Structure formats: C-alpha cells, structure tokens
Structure 1
Amino acid sequence: MTEKAGAVRGGLSRSQAAGKRGFDLALAALGLALSFWLIGLGWLAATLDSRAGGFFTQQRVGRCGRRFTVVKLRTMRATPEPGTSITRSGDPRITRVGRVLRRTKLDELPQLWNVLKGDMSFVGPRPDVPGYADRLVGEERLLLSVRPGITGPATLTYRNEEAILAEQACPEQYNDEVIYPDKVRINLDYIRNWRFRDDLRYIWQTVVD
C-alpha cells in the first residue's frame, strides 16, 4: 500500500505535525534513558518464561501506509502455525510473565525505540497488522496521515478489549464488525480535532490507568 494519505483533506497542519514530532523525540529519548534497565529486566524475564527471544517483533502499517517493524516485550508463547491476531482475556498463549507485562503495560516500553526512529508517535491510532489498513476507504484514509501511537483515545476506550472479546462467540467477527469500525470513528475524530493538551491527557491516563 503506497497511496499517500495526504491526498485526503483534513488532519494536522505542518506546524502541528512538527510540534508533535518534536515532543515525541524529546520524550522518547528521555524515556529510553530512564527505562533501559527496566526493558532489559523485562527482556530477561520474558526470555526465560517463554523460552524464546524476549523481544517480539511484527510488521505493522504506519504513516502513509508504509510498513515498519514494531518492537514489544514478548508476552505470548511462539506457535508453530500462524494464528489469529486477536487476543482474548485468558488466552492460553499468554505466559505467566506476559500477564504481568500486559497488566503493567511494561511490554509496550520497547516501542519508545519506534517513536525515536519516527515509526510511531506517543499518541495516535494503534498500528494495524497488514490487512486492516487495506479496508480503509475515502475519508477513513485520514488515519494514515499521522504516525500510529502507543496510546490514544481508541486505545483507552477499549482498554478492556481482551475481556470484551472473551465474551463473544466469534471474537474475530465482533472485532471486525463492531470494535474496529468504532476505533476508526474515534481516531478520525482525534485527528480532525487534534490538540496538544489532549495528547498530554491521553498519555497521563495511560500511565495512571
């Protein structure tokens, strides 16, 4: 997918995007300097518990539809066959250490590197696996005009997404028909009405939640 999301009207102005990027750079550099030891401990614990590499990497779709490799601490056992990208509460693939990492959000810390590199932002739509971004049509492609985020309004709205999916008879269908379209709506509203103070609020809510 190579179409330029900028072809869709709306979104952040150049000055807003530059200010957002400057904030991301400063905070990501500070965050990595303060948390590198914690990432190291998490990597060691995840490696021992999963008996696989402590880092989990996956291809995601970013700004302008470009793919990048997202980095997280491993929270699930490696499976020999490709599985679903949908994770439910109580998923047997989640390791004991993984449950702690997910609950404390420590598994997200390596994404500070993605922010520093420019793949991601602190706040924005979560980066989708290839396939979902292809479904965006018309004004929905405005989502590709910004860098995907570690957190954001849709992420916070569906903070209990795994528990919600665990209650569904067909989690993938419910995600595709209910949750994903609602996330698109929430993220479009975020981009069209972007304010720096809202980014600060979303970051704070993510940390204290």
Structure 2
Amino acid sequence: MSGRPAVPYLRVKRAVDVVVSGAGLLVGAPVMAVVAAAVRRDLGSPVLFRQLRPGLRGAPFELVKFRTMRTVGADDGVDTDAQRLTPFGSWLRSTSLDELPTLWNVLRGDMSLVGPRPLLMEYLDRYTPDQARRHEVRPGITGLAQVRGRNELSWDQKFAADVEYVDGVGWRADLRILAATLATVLRRQGISAPGAATMHLFTGSPPADAAPGRHDAA
C-alpha cells in the first residue's frame, strides 16, 4: 500500500527547501570558493562532479558535487574507488563539504533537503516494486538511511529506511532527520561500507556480494 505524503505538507516542504538552499548558497559561497580552489589544486579540473541521477518518479537530473576522486583512463591500472579517492577527497566526504554544491539541485527542485539519497540510473531496473517507492518523493541531501548508518547499512536496510520515510514523511520526521544529520556529520559516521572506500554496487535483491566498482557512491 502506498503511503504518499499529503500535498499540503509537500508544498510547505518545497518552500522551506527554496529558502534554506538559497540562503545556504549565499552564506556558504566563501566556503565553496575555498573548497573549489582546494579541489582544483588537489584534483585538477573539472572541480565539480556531475552525473545523471534519478529524481522524483525516476526522472533523471544532473547531480552536482565537489569532486573527491581522481579521473583516470582505461590504461591507468586503477579500477576501484579506494584507488581513485585521494586523502583530501576522503576528508571532503567525511565532513560532507563535497555536498555543498548540491544545494543548487535543491534550489532548482531536483532534490529536497531531506529524502532518499539519489543513487545511480542503472539501479532503476534492479529495484523491487517496494524499493522503487523511494522515488515517490524528491531525493534528498540527507535522509533516514543516512542518519541510521549511511554506508554501514546493507542495501536492503537502506531501501527499507527509504520506504519508511516515504510512508511517514512530515515536518516532525524531517526535523528529526536534520538534527540527527548534524550529529552524524560531526561524528563522521558511516562514510564507507565495510571493506570498501565508499559503497558496494547494488546488483539487485536479494543482494549479491559485489566488489567495489568505479562509481561515486552517495
């Protein structure tokens, strides 16, 4: 059974997203300028990571973040996230500073401050019907799965949390998640999955063991 949130709250949620993301981009501009310069020095150009991700109802949009990984060619002998992730990039991820440009996605309406994290387009045909319900709301910068363990959770646990959020979305849930996100970021918890630099690829349910692939896990 679908537990789609009531339309009135979604309108309020969208208004809050616009105000907070707009203010965040203005206030955070000096910090983003410093981070951009540091990314350019450490990783070169481009400074921003751009990738198509599925949004509301699975519609694709271009996600933007600061780059945290080296760009390598087929002949470089590098094929895992652990090999591509630089120490500076790892620090950016641990502090969540790489997410600052994503506020632009929130302002545009591609994303929300709170919601299921946007994953890879290739995952769309791997979800079960219940897991696919995570796309009934806009994806978020943070979400219930992130405050429950982030990449320390299994895929099944992540998707269960995403659907739980869809069924219970409301201002109380969003405020609790935002408050818990601050604590999670300060403690730098759940940045990597066990045995991986980021997160193992999702190959479908029931989940199969998969080696870390070349992707930029959220």
What TM-score comes out, normalization by structure 2 length?
0.77
| Aligned partner of residue 28 in structure 2, secondary structure | helix
Mapping of residues 176-195 of structure 1, within 5 Å: 179-195=154-170
| Aligned partner of residue 130 in structure 2, secondary structure | helix
- Give the C-alpha shift of residue 9 in structure 1: 3.2
1:132 matches 2:123: yes
Q: Deviations over 1:18-48 (max 9, x none)?
A: 1111111111011111101111111110111
1:144 matches 2:135: yes
Q: Deviations over 1:66-88 (max 9, x none)?
A: 1111111111101224x87x85x
- Give the C-alpha shift of residue 17 in structure 1: 1.2
Residue number among 92, 101, 115 corresponding to 1:101 in the alignment: 92
Q: Aligned partners of 1:103 and 1:137: how far apart in 2?
A: 31
Q: CA RMSD in A?
A: 2.1
1:11–1:142: 8 Å Cα contact kept in structure 2?
Answer: no
| Aligned partner of residue 155 in structure 1, secondary structure | helix
2:5–2:170: 8 Å Cα contact kept in structure 1?
Answer: no
Matched with 2:61 is 68
Matched with 1:157 is 148
| Aligned partner of residue 110 in structure 1, secondary structure | helix
1:60–1:129: 8 Å Cα contact kept in structure 2?
Answer: yes
Matched with 2:183 is 208
Q: Aligned partners of 2:162 and 2:168: how far apart in 1?
A: 10
Q: Percent identity?
A: 35
Q: Aligned partners of 1:115 and 1:56: how far apart in 2?
A: 16
- Give the C-alpha shift of residue 149 in structure 1: 0.5
- Residue 42 of structure 2 aligns to which amino acid in structure 1? D
2:146–2:181: 8 Å Cα contact kept in structure 1?
Answer: no
- Please list every run of at least 4 consecutive aligned residues from structure 1 whose deviation after the TM superposition is greater than 3 angstroms: none
Count residues with an aligned counterpart: 182
Q: Gaps (5+ residues) in structure 2? A: 185-218
| Aligned partner of residue 92 in structure 1, secondary structure | helix
1:17 matches 2:10: yes
- Give the C-alpha shift of residue 16 in structure 1: 1.7
| Aligned partner of residue 70 in structure 1, secondary structure | strand
Q: Aligned partners of 2:93 and 2:132: how far apart in 1?
A: 30
Q: Which has the higher helix share?
A: 1
1:115–1:121: 8 Å Cα contact kept in structure 2?
Answer: yes
Which region of structure 1 is more displaced relative to structure 2, 142-151 or 109-118? 142-151
What TM-score comes out, normalization by structure 1 length?
0.80
Q: Deviations over 1:136-189 (max 9, x none)?
A: 233333211111010011122233x2xx5xxxxxxxxxxxxx822221111111
1:198 matches 2:191: no
- Residue 58 of structure 1 aligns to which amino acid in structure 2? Q
Q: Gaps (5+ residues) in structure 1? A: 1-7, 165-177
1:153–1:190: 8 Å Cα contact kept in structure 2?
Answer: yes
Mapping of residues 49-64 of structure 1, within 5 Å: 49-64=42-57
Residue number among 104, 108, 114 corresponding to 1:123 in the alignment: 114
